[in-house]
Amino acid sequence: MEINNCIALVTGANRGLGKAYVDALLAAGASKVYAGARDIGSIATANDRVIAVRLDVTCEDQVRSAAQRCNDVTLLINNAGIMKSSPMLAEGSEEALRAEMEVNAFGVLRMARAFAPVLSKNGGGAIVNMLSVVSWFVNPGNATYCASKYAALAVTDALRIQLKAQGTQVVAVHAGYIDTDMAAGVNSPKVSAQQVAARTLDGLREGKNSVHADQRSEEVWQKVKTDPEGLHARLQEAWDRLVEAKGD
């Protein structure tokens, strides 16, 4: 897909990676970018090519309204996401999983169902779903989030198959920790939001189904393919160390 002159909608566009996507699209020549956020007052821009749209991806009425208003969209970037950092058996894990699934998986599906007809009418276009390296494995300390991203990957793969006939490109973007508010408390190497956005747009131009947006995603993908048992063993060791540390 060519980014120049496209008309895009980015969810969760008010900060972090969402804002980086908006900036990258503008720099690449997008003619219009709809910036979706729950609070449109949080979208600060003087660029007349950016249009703020009130959009909570968990609200069917707001999603439907956005599809009606933004009926010229040729590129949808599903970026909105939440992370509760809950182990699977922790107190409140069911509530955490429900909340993460509602945004990270059902939100993606909700947006795709609303905008697939719009994209078809406008020539096919593309859908980008922002996933994670934990679409491929489960970090036990953040297990409910991983489950939601596993589900989002399945949604993405199904959309790609079903929307091929209408000419819609569907791209899964995988990254490790990104230097945004979501990972502010993480003491591990992080990729910049700008790099993730840039690699995503490159992947769109190249017609890729999957984008590995950083070194972490490239490394994890190789481990998933070549040594899944070893990866599982390392995750078990990490969990055991965490439990031991908390016991102390």
pLDDT at 81: 97
The reported pLDDT for the residue numbered 215 is 97
Report how far residue 49's alpha carbon sits from residue 53's, in angstroms, rounded to the nearest whole number. Answer: 13
Q: CA gyration radius for the chain?
A: 18
CATH topology (fold) of 7-215: Rossmann fold (3.40.50)
Phi-psi region of 125 (alpha: psi -120 to 50; beta: other; left: phi over 0): left
What is the pLDDT, as a whole number, of residue 190?
A: 93
185 token code pair: 């408390």
Cβ atoms within 10 Å of 234's Cβ, excluding its own: 13
Give me the pLDDT at residue 238, please. 84
Q: Is there a catalytic annotation at residue 149?
A: yes
Q: Which of 19, 149, 150, 177 is catalytic?
A: 149
Length of the chain: 248
Output the CA torsion sign for 67, 71, 76, 82: negative
**Exactly one of 145, 208, 223, 225 is catalytic; which is it?**
145
pLDDT in the model for residue 7? 98
Report the pLDDT value the prediction gives residue 105, as an integer from 0 to 100.
Answer: 98
Domain range summary for the chain, segments of one domain joined by +? 7-215
Strand partners, 195: none
> Is residue 145 among the annotated active site residues?
yes
Q: Which two tokens stand for residue 57?
A: 């991806």
Q: Which pLDDT score is estimated for 182?
A: 81
Q: From 237, 43, 208, select the one nearest 128 (Cα to Cα).
A: 208
Tens-digit pLDDT profile for the chain (248 aa)? 999 999 999 999 999 999 999 999 999 999 999 999 999 988 877 799 999 999 999 999 999 999 999 999 999 999 999 999 999 999 999 999 999 999 999 999 999 999 999 999 999 999 999 999 999 999 999 999 999 999 999 999 999 999 999 999 999 999 999 998 887 777 788 999 999 999 999 999 999 999 999 999 999 999 999 999 999 998 999 899 888 887 65
